[in-house]
Chain A
Amino acid sequence: MDAILIQILNGLDKGSAYALIALGLTLIFGTLGVVNFAHGALFMVGAFCAVTLQRLLNISSVSIDETKKDFLGNPLKVETPYVENWFGDTVGSAIIDWSVPLAILFAIPIMLLIGYVMERGLIRHFYKRPHADQILVTFGLAIVLQEIVKAMYGANPIPTPAPDAFVGSLDFGVLVGLDPDSVIYPYWRLIYFLFSAVVIAAVFSFLRFTTFGMVVRAGMADRETVGLLGIDIDKRFTLMFGVAAAVAGLAGVMYAPINSPNYHMGMDFLVLSFVVVVVGGMGSLPGAVIAGFMLGILESFASMNEVKSIIPGIDQIIIYLVAIIILLTRPRGLMGRKGVMEE
């Protein structure tokens, strides 16, 4: 029971990242009809927003301590963050400690801007081009973003810790009536799952309950008709591209303490997220979310030693296996619209 519970938690956690990235991908495909291979890079840029804020908050004044030596035997340069100088040691160090959650506020405008510039500056020129061209150009863009990040931050992973209050693990087993220590789960991974649930709910609420969202949904269903009503649907879709970029970015920001950000983390998630979108159904937002969590949990169970001892390597192929089965039996995916991805 405890082994199953912990794999469900792991699956929800992986599924959170898949679902958030797939949600953004689906938003872009559903509104603009663009297959955005740069979406994983936006996830990576989000994680580096957390790194950047952490570094900005650690910008320091330098003083020389003659009593200590550096590695070359020269007087030691002591660095004190300006934040601590301005707000005092306690408040200043708390601000630095909370750099990841604070990076959410930092990342939203940046990701909206990146999304806007990407769409207006490049992607809009490819709306009427074949999907193959869109894939090529967005994949190229992903590599450019990746190389820029590598040039700026190096190739090694950069530790970006969660606030001290969330370091450590919760005895989850006790909460559900199991023995103490049977299911231990890191606080931050639980927070990541809750955070993704909130973001998903916010996106759905925005589309469901705001006039803006309703127009966007109408545009997704029938762009021409909405346009004929005198509504500038293109402008709204551009904004939705920004929202999709922000969702990917937020997924990256909060993921930073789970896996230290590195320049290729976007590529690690991109292919899997596309599989999630296809399984969920191209263009279906609920499909992307459900498939994300479903495949996350399946992948997690497939990685159990007991399962791998029966079918070696199943953890590496389970997602693709499920995708093949679903696409063979239901070409439009679990919740895809009729006519998309099927004859």
Chain B
Amino acid sequence: MSQFNFSRRGLLKGGAALGAGLAMPTIFTSKARAAYLNEPTGDTVTLGFNVPQTGPYADEGLDELRAFQLAVEHLNGEGDGGMISTFSSQELKGEGILGKKVAYVSGDTQTKSDAARASAKSMIEKDGVLMISGGSSSGVAVAVQSLCQEAGIIFMAGLTHSNDTTGKDKKANGFRHFFNAYMSAAALAPVLKNNYGADRKVYHLTADYTWGWTQQESMQAATEAIGWETVNNVLTPLATTDFSSYIAPVLNSGADVLMLNHYGGNMVNSLTQSVQFGLRDKQVNGKNFEIVVPLYSELMAKGAGEAVKGVFGSSNWSWTLQDEGTKAFVKSFGTKYGFPPSQAAQTCYAQTLLYADAAARAGTFNPCGIAEALEGFEFDGLGNGPTLYRADDHQCFKDVMVVQGKQEPENEYDALEIVEVTPRAQVEYAPDHPMFAGGELGKCNSGA
């Protein structure tokens, strides 16, 4: 008969050891013998698409998911192939990736960082994904990118526009195809000067989180550089739905431009309410009062309806572009789903193809091999003209659209028109630019 002798000290030691073992994430304990984390051994490779399927950005997330599904079909040789045929790199043949059929799992970020991390962690540990993509909030992107770095997984960011994603929070395992707040400001400022002059007073309303802060900082710097004066910057909580109390002070502030550093439902409400309060009918300082929305999306423009008419903003991509890649993607997506893709869909589709192509060129799914293949990679044919994945910060550089709410839309998908395609050179910046300073890219983590 066995005997167990417990001492208090022994019990404490044992408990501490057991607790430490349980507390250690399995992603750090289950990979000892692999060359890299989740190295695929069968005939499929699994990708993780982590998008907001519930919450205020769900429509955008669902459009991203449609694009991911389309990309997987095309990678597996189904459908019409979409942008694979227009992509300048001709490594992808519709035979999966490196001969393995592409499978995917999807998760719901709920547009919350903690939920997004939990979902991503589950994909890595339980589903064995090699890459995670998706998003629709910079807060979520920064959180998931950090997790992927710790785990040893590639993160191909979806819609995230904060400078911080490839600035102070950049990571060696994270890559962003979408543009950022600095680029929006650099593209918009000259257009604003041409249309509204160099003598303007601007009042900012800003969403109170990482994206809003960097968006406002970028717009303030760019508009002050063209001679505009900043009257005030008021931070608005993300949960705000009624902006009337914030808009009322604008009326008597002396400002003649209102800059809405808002996104999603916040922007829909703040813009429509600004118009309701007669801001666009006002004359201040002898000039017509103007509203600017630095970051537009088609879904937001649709939500704001009539209020977007004539309002300038910027966009990463538009389905109305006439390059071959865009035309192929719009045809593919439009035929499958019955409506044109959003910029969120395009960036997620492009990111999936870019990951697959990098793996094909590297000849491995090892995250460090893929990272090396993406760093400094120049490509074309995915919708925005020639594009560079800069090695220093993993930020894509390409042309930026300046768009304006269309006065006479022909249909519900026709809310925005491109007024200028700003060349890539005009929106580029040095990797050590003050707005992107701090933080380290660090070294690639393969999870081995």
Contact = CB atoms under 8 A, between A and B. Distances in A.
Nearest to A3: B252
A155 B234 contact: no
Contact of A181 (B282, B299, B319, B339): B282
The interface centre, meaning the residue of B57, B242, B282 with most chain A CB atoms within 10 A of its CB, is B242
B242 A259 contact: yes
A93 interface: no
Interface in B182-235: 232, 234
Interface string A1-24: 011001100100110000000000
Nearest to B279: A184
A158 B303 contact: yes
B249 A169 contact: no
A226 B245 CA distance: 47
Contacts of B57: 155
A304 B246 CA distance: 7
A304 B251 CA distance: 13
Interface in B256-289: 265, 268-269, 272-273, 276-278, 281-282
Interface string A256-275: 00111010110010000000
Given A157-B303, A316-B237, A260 B272 contact: yes
B237 A264 contact: no
Interface residues of B, number: 45
B278 A168 contact: yes
B169 to A, nearest CB: 25
A10 B245 CA distance: 7
B59 interface: yes
A190 to B, nearest CB: 11
B272 A185 contact: no
Interface residues of A, number: 43
A159 B248 contact: no
B417 interface: no
B130 to A, nearest CB: 30
A187 to B, nearest CB: 9
B54 interface: yes
A156 interface: yes
Contacts of B282: 181, 184
Contact of B56 (A3, A71, A181, A264): A264
Contact of B335 (A72, A268, A299): A72
B245 to A, nearest CB: 4
B340 A71 contact: yes
Interface of B: 54-59, 232, 234, 237, 239, 241-242, 244-246, 248-249, 251-252, 265, 268-269, 272-273, 276-278, 281-282, 299, 302-306, 319, 330-331, 334-335, 339-340, 410-411, 413
Given A150-B54, A159-B305, A316-B237, 9 more contacts: A7-B245, A10-B244, A14-B242, A72-B331, A72-B335, A154-B59, A157-B268, A161-B306, A304-B245
24 contacts: A14-B242, A14-B244, A71-B330, A150-B58, A154-B58, A155-B56, A155-B58, A155-B59, A156-B268, A156-B299, A156-B302, A157-B265, A157-B269, A167-B276, A169-B278, A181-B282, A186-B276, A186-B277, A258-B276, A259-B241, A260-B272, A260-B303, A268-B241, A305-B232
